[in-house]
Amino acid sequence: MITPKKLIYFGSPSFAAQILKSLFDISDIQIVGVVTQPDKPLGRHGILTSSPVAQMADRHQLPTFKPTRLDQANLTHIKLLKPDIFLVVSYGKIIPPDWLNIPTLGTFNIHFSLLPKYRGALCISEAIKNQDPTTGVTLMKMDAQLDHGPIISQSIVNIDNSDNVATLTTKLTQAAVQLLAQRLPEICAQSYSVIDQEHDQAVFTPKTSSISHDSAFIPYQKILDAIDGKDTTTTSALIRSLTPEPGPWTEINGKEIKLIDTSIVNEKLVINTVQLPGKSPISYKQFASGYLK
């Protein structure tokens, strides 16, 4: 009987938790620990809340580490688990070089783009904003540079004209689950091959700090133009790339209006649902009848 390889999972957001959940069905590995972001205050009352990955780990009674720094003291604890594999899925911190070589089989990463295109954290929103017809999932072996290591496998995912960041993330998560089910056993058996990235073709996404409420503002005239059929696909792609977070918004008659849902009908932008600050979402028709008279 083949002994499963010991895997430590690095991840934080909800889609990373879904991928973690899928790994329990892969008999070639034994998940021996999880590394995730420290608990953060959430909601109106600032309740200290663990990450979705930590919550998933708790349900499966896994040892969970929430270091503020990936330093030597924390690495000492990780080494005690004698890992064969590190798997990183949107952890949220840079893995130091002295951590990468600790697992006997290496450190691997799932990235939501077809590398070398869209290195960085905003890989999903950039693909939508740039109106790419496809994106995908890359399984790679990590090195010390950002999204730079050799590629093991990739899976292509179509981007529909209705996709926003949330719906595309769901599609990419499903593709990642399938990719790992196929390729993790090969990694465990050391029967995989790699292809170096074409680094001169690398495209880097903006820093996450560039995304804010202010940066999600779209001039109302631009929206009106799209409603009239001018630059419709470009404006629609911009709106969807900001949905659901940080949330695209505009200003109409001095009122801040969040664009919750839009679509394209007959090559023209249609606003379906909007939201005023502190209010529940309403149809644009309701908003227009009450505020655009």
Q: Could you tell me the residue ranges of all domains in the chain?
A: 5-201, 214-291
| 29-35/5-11 β-pairing | parallel
Q: Which residues of 88-125 are buried (b: 16+ CB within 10 A; e: fewer)?
A: bbbbbeebeeebbebbebbbbbbbbbbbbbbbbbbbbb
Tokens 């499966």 locate to 60
Tokens 């010991």 locate to 6
CATH architecture type of domain 214-291: Roll (3.10)
Q: How far apart are CA 226 and CA 235, in angstroms?
A: 7
Q: How far apart are CA 77 and CA 136, in angstroms?
A: 35
Q: Which residues face 256 on adjacent strands?
A: 251
Q: How far apart are CA 134 and CA 113, in angstroms?
A: 9
CATH architecture type of domain 5-201: 3-Layer(aba) Sandwich (3.40)
Please identify every stretch of the chain with a pLDDT value under 50, giving residue numbers as ranges: none
pTM: 0.95
Q: Do domains 5-201 and 214-291 have the same CATH topology?
A: no
Q: How far apart are CA 182 and CA 121, in angstroms?
A: 25
Q: How confident is the model at residue 293, as a pLDDT?
A: 63
Q: How confident is the model at residue 1, as a pLDDT?
A: 62
